[in-house]
Amino acid sequence: MMTTRDEKHTGLHHTADKVQDTIGGMHGRVKAKTLGSHSGEAFAKNAAIGDIYEITAAKMALKRTRSDRVREAARKMIDDHTTATHQLRSAHRMSETGDLPELPTEVDMRRRKWLEHLEAAPDDKFDETYLDQQVLAHKETVDLMTGYAQSGDNWQLRSFAEGTAPVVERHLAMMEKLRAAL
C-alpha cells in the first residue's frame, strides 16, 4: 500500500524536522559570525551554498505552495539569488589573491537536510516549513554578509557583501512578515 507524503510525515516527524532545522540554523549563524566574517574562502563557500539552497527551495515552493504571496516571494528569491550568484562568481574570479578554491555547485549536508525536510513537509505545513527555513537562512546570510563587509580579508568579496547585505535584509523582513501572516 502506498502512503502519501502527508500520511508518512506528520506530527512527531514534522516536529523533529523543525527542531533539526532550527539547530542547523543556529549552527550556521555561528559559522557565519566567526570564520565566515573574515575568511574569503569560508565566506565565498557559504554565500554560494546559500544561493544554491535559496534557488532550490524557491523552485520547490513554486510547485507546492497554494499561496500567491509565497509564490511571489519564491520568484523573488530565484531572481535575486541568481543575480547574487553571478555577482559572487564575478567577485570571486576578480579576486586579487587568486588563492580561493572553486565555488561549490551543490548544497552542504545541513542545507541538503533542510531541502529534504521541505520536500517531506505535509501539504498543509509546506508554507510554514518554507517560511521558517527562509527566516533561518536569511538571518544566517545577514550575519555572513554584514560580518564579512566589516572585516573580510578580500576587498572584492567585501564589496560584494556590502552590496548584497541590504538585499538580504529586505528578504529577511519579507519572510518574517509572510511567516507572521500565516
User: What pLDDT is attached to residue 96?
Assistant: 66
The CATH number that applies at residue 111 is 1.20.1260.10
User: What pLDDT is attached to residue 3?
Assistant: 43
User: What pLDDT is attached to residue 1?
Assistant: 37
Note whether residue 43 is domain-resident. yes
The segments of the chain whose pLDDT lies below 50 read 1-3
Per-residue pLDDT reduced to its tens digit, 163-173 = 999 999 999 99
User: What pLDDT is attached to residue 98?
Assistant: 65
3-state DSSP assignment of residue 95: coil
User: What pLDDT is attached to residue 14?
Assistant: 78
Note whether residue 141 is domain-resident. yes
Using alpha carbons, select from 104, 103, 128, 108 the residue that is nearest to residue 118.
128
| Residue with cell string 566589516 | 150
Q: For the chain, give percent helix, strand, coil, nearest 5.
A: 80, 0, 20
pTM over 0.85: yes
Could you list the residue range(s) of the whole structural domain that residue 77 is in? Answer: 38-181
Can you list the pairs that 139-143 forms with residues at least 24 positions away whose Cβ atoms lie under 8 Å?
139/25, 139/29, 139/172, 140/25, 140/28, 140/29, 140/32, 140/50, 141/32, 141/47, 141/50, 141/168, 141/171, 141/172, 142/168, 142/169, 142/172, 143/29, 143/32, 143/33, 143/36, 143/37
Note whether residue 2 is domain-resident. no
Note whether residue 150 is domain-resident. yes
Note whether residue 53 is domain-resident. yes
Total of domains in the chain: 1
Note whether residue 24 is domain-resident. no
Note whether residue 19 is domain-resident. no
